[in-house]
Structure 1
Amino acid sequence: MNAPRVYGRWERPRSAGFFGLTWGVSLLGLGLIVAVMASFMLIQSIQISATLLAGAAVIFVPLAITRDGRTGWELLLLRTQFAMARARGELTYRSGRFSRMPGLAKLPGLLADSRLTEYETAGGKRFAMLHIRRTDHYTVVLRVLARGKELVDQHQIDTWVEGYGQFLAAQSRGGEVVAITAVLENTVETRLKHTLEVARLVRDTAPAFAKQVMGEAAADSGGVGVRIDARIAITFRAIGKGRIRRDQPEQAREIGQRLQSVLSQLAHAGLPATPMQAWEVLALVRSRYDLASQRDVETAGRAITESQSWDSVGPIAHADRWDHYVHDAARSITWEMDGAPRGAVMETVLEELLRPRPDVPRKRVAIVYRLHSAADATSLVDSDFRDAIAAEQTERGIASASARIRVANTSAAREEQARGAGLTRFGVLVTVTDHLDGDLPGIEASVKGMAAASRLSVRRCYGYQAAAFAASLGIGLVLPEHTSISKGVSA
């Protein structure tokens, strides 16, 4: 019997400095000490030197102390930016018939400058393409038929996992893919799709008994009232140079040529996929911002394009709060991954988090993969290995044990990258949506319990709930590309 296959060896990049600090913070601390000492030697004033020392401490200490993965300066800037946005009224959004732009319900925030178009590949497949003009990113969303693991051999599951890793590595080689977002979403089952499909299949000339059986089958479908939707969004940088980069049809042609190989790679990973069309993306976004529209959207189907456009699928009103997000008649909370599962894990590590639950009927888990190009990956794995060795040589005690593990992990990463594996940064966003009178404290406890069972450390997205909600939709919004805080003060 073969031993179960395990996965892991992920490491957060960190430059080694003094006393567990990063190299940049260590150099800053040395520079401040030298500056204070030089000023004392030149001025010979204890009072002035003490003032300079206090100022140096104010600069250095918030960078040296971190909380929830953020430095003190980062937390202060986040609070300040949120307070300034609230004072300017940027956290409240109103649209609709009596707004300043009557008849429009544009998407708010970072999605305000996005555009949705539809094109066709050379093979005749139509696909929707979203363009976020601020970052010049183009996104294609693929609907995936998620397969369960029932009656599937472990060898086949291992092959699928390996195929998915090869899919990620293949997308990173050219350096044109910014991110890949895999979304597994639990939504309330309205049974409308089943009813409409049965109505389409049943003919008027069918026997009465056959009609009765089909009607009962449609009425009994849906299980516990929660269904699973899966999709993968692939976000590209603008491809080409000069005029081609600014020509949207040219970008669609280039992306369309790559779609067939992407679909083949996903099929090899056990994920048969098909590109989502414009009407499907419209229905997706409309029903996530306005829960009450879900039945209307599913009833309309393709006809939704007759009454809705990309400028009308946003919420009528929203309020971005510090710890939650209110949109129309719903409230959402988004958590982000604080730390990857520790140690080696099996492929079922996220099963508890992804599993549908009746007490959390609207849950969305988005795994964001930010891919390094093949050229960047080589230098990065070498740099991580050197930093790990430096940390092992400077740290003592318990810290040295973790430093030795980090050296082994980064060494393995170098070997795997040399054999053709890709280098990927990844994160997880978990969004739960419920009505305004929903039991969100109870839901929060359930989410934290599911995350703990999956050995995943999560924390609430304080100060950017609306942006995190939009990013977890899986329509091409990559949060690190929109950061407003300098990397120099971040952890």
Structure 2
Amino acid sequence: MTTRMYGRWEKPRSAGFFGLTWGASMFGLGLAITVMVGFMLTRSLTAAGVLVGGGALVFIPLVVSRDGRTGWELIVLRAQFTLARARGELVYRAGRFSRIPGTARLPGLLADSRLSEYETAGGKRFAMIHIRRTDHYTVVLRVIPRGKELVDQSQIDAWVEGYGRFLATQSRGGEVVAVTAVLENVVETRLRQRREVARLVRSDAPEFAKAVMREAAADIGGVGVRIEARIAVTYRAIGKGRIRRDDAEQAREIGQRLQGVLSHLARAGLPATPLQAWEVIGLVRTRYDLAAQRDVESAGSTITTTQSWDTAGPLAHADQWDHYLHDGGRSITWEMDAAPRGAVLESGLEELLRPRADVPRKRVAIVYRLHSAAEATKLVDSDFRDALAAEQTERGMASASASLRVGNTNAARQEQARGAGLTRFGVLITVSDHLDADLPGIEASVQGMSDASRLGVRRCYGSQASTFAASLGIGLILPEHTSISKRVSA
């Protein structure tokens, strides 16, 4: 049997002069014309020198990049972070003695979010998260991956193909902003198993059977690591006028589409169930406050008697340049810097996703930003034209890379014409632990796992709090909240 390989991903890049982007090339040409016109008008070498120096100060940071960001991006990011720290915006305090007593709302970009619960026509209850700043509505689905043990390769290939069809189907109408797949390793408290054993014991069961079940529950001990998987589907506001502003109408529209989402995921080997409101509250609460996990799991569905969406956030947090402090925990988030080079197998991320005792709380979020069918056709044609232009202007190793990009973009055009979707994707890796954790050791472990998966990653400097929230998989799509203009980006 032929082993399937996956790849041909390309980072969109407009082609300009000397390997620069089109925008940078046009800006450089404009600066050159400005210098020449200035010299012609003044006839002064001093004035021309000043114009050349000023142009260089503006142009060089635009074309010199580091870690995937231009010099201007790094300068603006550092300036924004410094200004926010001076204003006190990076420190958050909530709780009984805060300015709004008794609340602990989610901080930062999630501050204006709302949580509500509705029911589909089929009787399934689901939680819906509304982020009002972008008018996005998100439904979170619990997924139980089937694994690949004792499964034929043909079945695995069918599941991967089914997941690709699921993404392509969600992109066709243009209503889905993004799909976020999260696979998380959390500390196993065994409380859920014990509660399940207690539920299974009937009051009229024989005493011997009850004793056996009690001993079985007592023997479930120790602390390990378990895997939790979920998929969040984020929608734009659907409809027009009043419907767009009515949460109940949005829930009705999303509920009608939800059964189709579940069916597509089931065909991809991912049986899914929508999370209810109490489950979403418990999920967010335990990620911000690590010490609350046992209490939340013990409470189960009764957590809503003491907690709400307004109290699910941390009591205190501090957004540092290279890490994030929240209640009694510290988290570090990395982002994908480069996709794996060449083709990979379906198990390419296996080393990164595998649970490890030395990294007990690890979250990997893959964010798929979907293009509609109309957008996809324009983008694949534009990428192909840019690749052809780059191949004609570059030489040496750059020319070989450009030729490879021409082949990849041409293949994308053909696949899109046959019905495939076009998707931008990125990866966020978040590791959380207590304040006294061995952070240098954790960083080395994450770097090793990423290298084994052939994934280039970098730490999210200056945006740890927002990337932590985005990796939760509750509908926060970071590119929709960008604070730096695309004109100065790479």
**TM interval, short-chain normalised:** over 0.9
> How far apart in 1 are the matches of 2:471 and 2:287?
11
SS in 2 for 1:311: helix
Q: Report the Cα offset of residue 17 of structure 1.
A: 1.1
Secondary structure at the counterpart of residue 58 of structure 2: helix
Secondary structure, counterpart of 1:119 in structure 2: strand
Matches within 5 A, 1:309-324: 309-324=308-323
Check conservation: 1:15, 1:384, Cα contact below 8 A: yes
Taking a change above 3 Å as real, the CA distance of residues 358 and 215 of structure 1, as seen in their structure-2 partners, is farther
Q: Take 2:131 and 2:412, find their aligned partners in 1: how far apart are those partners?
A: 33
SS at match of 2:102: coil
Pairwise CA distance, 1:221: 4.9
Corresponding residue for residue 471 of structure 1: 470
Q: Which moved more, 1:210-219 or 1:21-30?
A: 210-219
Q: What is the deviation of 1:124? A: 0.7
| CA distance in structure 1 between the aligned counterparts of 2:393 and 2:351, rounded to whole angstroms | 39
Aligned equivalents of 1:148, 1:221: Cα separation in 2:
24
SS at match of 1:185: strand
AA paired with 2:471? S
Counterpart residue number, 1:68: 67
The alignment status of 1:87 with 2:86, answered yes or no, reads: yes
Residue 222 and residue 168 in structure 1: after superposition, are their counterparts in 2 closer, same or farther (change >3 A)? farther
Shift in Å, 1:214:
2.7
Separation of aligned partners in 1, 2:302 and 2:15? 58
1:220 CA displacement: 4.8
CA distance in 2: counterparts of 1:359 and 1:467, whole angstroms: 25
Q: Distance in 2 between matches of 1:305 and 1:404?
A: 58
Alpha carbons 2:189, 2:223 under 8 Å: kept: no
| Letter of the structure 1 residue corresponding to residue 395 of structure 2 | R
Q: In the alignment, what sits opposite 2:169? A: 170
Q: Does 1:399 align with 2:389?
A: no
Cα deviation for residue 212 of structure 1 reads 3.9
Structure 1 segments of 4+ aligned residues over 4 angstroms from their partners: 219-224
Partner residue, 2:285:
286
Q: Deviations over 1:184-239 (max 9, x none)?
A: 00000000000001001012333344334333444455886100000000000000
Change (3 A) 1:224 1:96: closer
Where does residue 113 of structure 1 map in the other structure?
Answer: 112
Instruction: Trace 1:29-178 onto structure 2 (pairs within 5 A).
Output: 29-178=28-177
| Residue 226 of structure 1: aligned partner | 225
CA distance in 1, matches of 2:471, 2:176: 18
Query: What amino acid is the match of 2:140?
Result: V
The size of the alignment, in residue pairs, is 490
Looking at structure 1, the residues matched to 219 and 488 of structure 2 have their Cα atoms a distance apart, in angstroms, of 56
Report Cα offsets for 1:379-431 as digits up to 9, x if no partner. Answer: 00000000000011111111111111100000000000000000000000000
Aligned partners of 1:247, 1:409: CA distance in 2, in Å?
43
Q: Is the 8 A contact 2:181 2:230 kept in 1?
A: yes
Native 8 Å contact 1:191 1:219 kept in 2 = no
Percent sequence identity is 77
Q: Distance in 2 between matches of 1:274 and 1:101?
A: 35
Distance 1:384 1:223, change over 3 A: farther
Amino acid at match of 1:438: A
- The corresponding residue for 2:265 is 266
* Alignment-mate amino acid for residue 114 of structure 1: S
Pair 428,82 (structure 1): closer, same or farther in 2 beyond 3 Å: same
Counterpart contact for 1:141–1:475, Cα < 8 Å: yes
**Alpha carbons of structure 1 residues 8 and 219: separation in structure 2 relative to 1, 3 Å:** farther
Q: What corresponds to 1:20 in structure 2?
A: 19
Amino acid across the alignment from 2:464: Q
1:476 is paired with a residue whose SS is coil
Which residue identity does 2:29 align to in structure 1?
L
- Give the Å deviation of 1:358: 0.6
Q: In the aligned structure 2, how far is the partner of 1:76 from the partner of 1:150?
A: 49
The alpha-carbon distance between structure 1 residues 272 and 220, as it changes in their structure 2 partners (threshold 3 A), is farther
> Please, what is the CA RMSD of the aligned residues?
1.0
Q: Deviations over 1:128-159 (max 9, x none)?
A: 00000000000000000121111111000000
TM-score (structure 1 length as normaliser): 0.98
TM-score, normalized by length of structure 2? 0.99
Structure 1 distance, partners of 2:375, 2:64, is 30
Partners of 1:219 and 1:10 lie apart in 2 by 50
Structure 1 unaligned blocks of 5 or more:
none
User: Does the residue aligned with 2:130 lie in a helix, a strand or coil?
Assistant: strand
Q: 1:222 to 1:183 in 2, by over 3 A?
A: farther
Q: Hey, what's the Cα distance between the residues in 2 that align with 1:444 and 1:153? A: 36
Distance 2:213 2:366 in 1: 38
Q: Secondary structure at the match of 1:180?
A: strand
Q: Secondary structure, in 3 states, of the residue corresponding to 2:310?
A: coil
> What is the match of residue 377 of structure 1?
376
SS of residue in 2 equivalent to 1:400: helix
Residue 28 of structure 1: how far off its partner (Å): 0.7
* Corresponding residue of 1:430: 429
**Contact 2:114–2:309 at 8 Å: present in 1 too?**
yes
Secondary structure of 2:98's partner?
coil
Does the CA-based 8 Å contact 1:280-1:302 persist in structure 2? yes
* Secondary structure of residue in 1 paired with 2:309: coil
Distance across 1 between alignment mates of 2:483 and 2:208: 64
**Equivalent AA in structure 1 for residue 480 of structure 2:** E
CA distance in 1, matches of 2:57, 2:218: 66
Q: Contact 1:191/1:218 (CA < 8 Å) preserved in 2?
A: no
